[in-house]
Chains A and B, each alone.
Chain A
Amino acid sequence: MDELPLPVEEYSGKVAEVKIGATRNEGGTRDFALVIGGDRVLPFYFFEGSNPNPPVIALEVYDSHESLPRPVKAFYSDELVENPVEWSRYVVEKLGAKMLNVKLVSVYPETRDEEPRKAAELVEEILQEVKVPLMVSGIEELWGPREVKKNMETLCEVAERTSGERVLLNPVTLDAYETVARSCIEHRHCLIAKTNMDVSQAIKLNGLLLDRGLTPERIVIDVTTGPLGYGIEYTYSTMERLRLRALKGDKSVQCPLVMFPSESWSAREISEKKGIDEMEKLGVAFEVVTAVTGILSGGNLLSILHPKTLNVVREFINEFLGQPRISINLKEWMKNAEW
């Protein structure tokens, strides 16, 4: 019998573990906390070792539902999406979501231009109603100085009002990181460091945040998600390169990675579909494929929009929770007569 030359690589680096959500013992009010990261090897390189924490899925809820894709709105019903607190409760209690991404899209200057104070009050309400860890997203499309400023104000307002809850604040960018970083440390939260799909930009922002006193245990990296068909290959390679750097010992990037499969819903392939059922199936399929690709390239946290995607991706993740088996009996697939 021929032995394989087992090409096991030894890595000197390790990704930090980021804990999201603080329980009562830890100064917050969450029922549990979630830990992401801690990776020692590339994802699914089981022959080299295993990573301690499976990827976590955050399901998205919005404080303003105008931009929601039709199949998502149809899944939840109009009444539900008009009430973000009830909506949050529904996804935790009925759908079993373990984490929420509360998207405060109402603060966009171009659309509703809502006050940061009001948006932050909603987050407080949600924290009272549901007890899972939260990601809170301000303005993700930082088109200009107005958006940058408004996002910073919103995240700082949220940080202050949710002090001690270890919320994951999203996004912090090179345009304005100092104030949010300070607020994040002061109120014991963690944050998402977002850059464009460029390894050197990610290294730069992370370095700046570490210099400001944030520990790697409070930073999650986002290199911007190009979804399936719209730049996924750039995201894939940027994430893989960053993760390899981290494992090879570059301390400036040893943080978990977040990915946003929800971005898939903007694909024109989906909106071109006629019926809502067809739109839903294809949309969920795009979101699933983007999520799987994200996990393969090192994604530790996935922000997902459609509950059906949550189910499929959760099932996918759960398949990997066991140990490699020594042998498996295989029925010959060829002989299967099902068609």
Chain B
Amino acid sequence: MAKVEVSPMEIYKLLPRTNCQLCGEENCMAFATKLANRESELDKCKPIVEESKYRDNYQKLREMLKPPVREVILSRGERKVKIGGELVMYRHEFTYRNPTAIAIDVSDDMPDEVLMERLKGIEGFSYTYIGRELKLDLVAVRSVSNEPEKFKNTVEKVLRNTSLPLILCSFNPEVIKAGLSVIQDGKPLIYAATRDNWKEMADLALMYNCPLAVSSPNDLSMLKSLTKTLIEYGIENLVLDPGVFPDEGLLDTINNFTMLRKAVFKGGDEVLGFPLLGVPLATWLGEGRPVEKKWKEAYIASMLIPRFADVLIIHSLDGWVLLPLVILRDNIYTDPRKPVAVEPGIRVFGNPDKNSPVMFTTNFALTYYTVAADIQSGKIDCYLLVVDTEGVSVESAVAGRKLTADKVAEAIEESKVEERVNHKTIIIPGRASRLSGEIEEKSGWEVLVGPMDSSGIPKFIAEKWHSK
């Protein structure tokens, strides 16, 4: 089994050690360090990929760096969605790699206007969270009619109206084949091979060189047998679906997902080392009002994001269902090696000049990134001083005396920001307003008290700074 912890030295020994810099790094040792931290990819080393004398070392390195859960790529033109590639069972052991991809379904029996409305909703969903754009990843096209022609038509419409990669869903190989026939440029995920159709589905996956999902509801032994058979048949890119069962079946659902991952990471099972697919959409099968189904879908999806799902198929398109899910996914897949505090010091945003504003915030990572994102989204040119508060937020730092007038004065002086601007006015966070008098006294700078929440910064600058 591949190891998670690989030392840079072990990697370095197998690299060409010519320091050619083709990978973009200073030298081979720097590249080895990046590879060990999983911050770069082996194939960036052109010589090792292309030159035959390195072939053995290339194979050894590939094996050494191979994640226990295979990385599978769904694509459409230039757009790629990577799933899996996981290195660890628990997030704190290293980091989770590829955020759970979220697919929203459409079906071949939807009237055109419903279909278009949904595609617009999927494509248009977007939320800016600490400077990152959170979006949906995939469209899952379901065959309800079981008619190849009808499915093909729907896939064509979907292709015309979205640029997202697809999942083609049917247990009928003829239907899947019809869908695949109209996809020119891309590799959709085929859903799904079962014990009854696996051979036909495998042939399609091979013919079109697409990843293939394997479905075996609540039967992990069958799932493993099928997976093994498909590997032996020559399929490399598989995705495993152990089933999602709402209501009383939730216990089996999470038990299965957990068992599959533990089999790989702690049991050393090499057959099951593939991304996992979950279908919270299954909640829509049961009785009940739509709003109840949406709540169920929301909690099932939020349960499966930290618990090992690499791709989810969801039906609800409501913002209140999807927003918490895309934020949770972003949070859980944040690298835990990243510290809670950021480096103190001066940060430059946009192209500030001598008249641009100077502000400060604390070095608590969440505070800093939130403020930075608000400055960027407001396209403000300014200087931001990051004051060392030992990684504590503004409010707590003021009360806990970790943010004092002395510290602010010190930060202003150390940053030499007064050489960059021709004014001496500093904007302070609204939550530090009680320090304003003291800051003026200690630093000799005039204080302008900013908004309580950094989302108000753009408006504040527009109204208060430019009028000054």
Interface of A toward B, CB cutoff 8 Å: 1-7, 9, 44-47, 141, 143-144, 147, 197, 226, 228-234, 236-237, 240-241, 244, 268-269, 272, 278, 281-282, 285-286, 288-289, 292-293, 296-297, 312-313, 315-316, 319-320, 322-325, 327-328, 330-339
Contact = CB atoms under 8 A, between A and B. Distances in A.
A4 B336 contact: no
Interface residues of B, number: 82
Interface in B124-152: 127, 129, 142-144, 146
A289 B321 CA distance: 10
17 contacts: A2-B221, A2-B228, A44-B251, A46-B251, A143-B400, A226-B366, A233-B331, A236-B331, A240-B91, A285-B320, A285-B324, A289-B299, A289-B302, A325-B249, A328-B245, A333-B279, A339-B107
Contacts of A278: 320
Nearest to A313: B299
A90 to B, nearest CB: 23
A337 B107 contact: yes
Nearest to B293: A338
Interface in B263-308: 263, 265-269, 271-272, 279, 281-282, 284-285, 295, 298-299, 302-303, 306-307
A328 B285 contact: no
B327 interface: yes
Interface in B295-351: 295, 298-299, 302-303, 306-307, 315, 319-321, 323-325, 327-328, 331-332, 334, 336, 340
Given A278-B320, A293-B306, A335-B144, 19 more contacts: A4-B224, A4-B267, A7-B259, A7-B265, A7-B266, A47-B258, A141-B396, A144-B401, A228-B324, A232-B328, A237-B91, A241-B90, A282-B323, A285-B321, A288-B295, A322-B251, A323-B251, A331-B285, A339-B118
Given A141-B399, A327-B219, A331-B285, A2 B258 contact: no
Contacts of A44: 251, 254-255, 258, 307
Interface in B199-236: 217-222, 224-225, 228
Nearest to A47: B259
Query: Binding site of B, secondary structure by majority: helix, strand, loop or mixed?
Result: helix
Contact of B109 (A240, A330, A337): A337
B368 interface: no
Contacts of B303: 292, 296, 316
Interface of B: 90-92, 107, 109-110, 114, 118, 127, 129, 142-144, 146, 169-171, 217-222, 224-225, 228, 243, 245, 247-252, 254-255, 258-259, 262-263, 265-269, 271-272, 279, 281-282, 284-285, 295, 298-299, 302-303, 306-307, 315, 319-321, 323-325, 327-328, 331-332, 334, 336, 340, 366, 395-396, 398-401, 453, 455
Contacts of A313: 299
Contact of B267 (A6, A45, A144): A6
B258 A240 contact: no
Contact of B284 (A45, A292, A315, A338): A338
B282 A228 contact: no
A337 B263 contact: no
A232 B169 contact: no
4 closest pairs, A vs B, by CB?
A: A143-B399, A7-B267, A5-B267, A319-B250
A4 B269 contact: yes
A335 B147 CA distance: 12
B299 A288 contact: yes
A319 B247 contact: yes
- Which of B90, B255, B398 has the largest number of chain A CB atoms within 10 A? B255
Contacts of A339: 107, 110, 114, 118, 315
B299 A46 contact: no
B225 A2 contact: yes
B255 A237 contact: no
Nearest to B267: A7
A323 B276 CA distance: 23
Given A5-B268, A337-B144, A325 B282 contact: no
A256 B88 CA distance: 25
B282 A333 contact: yes
Given A46-B251, A296-B307, A334 B331 contact: no
Contacts of B327: 228-229, 269
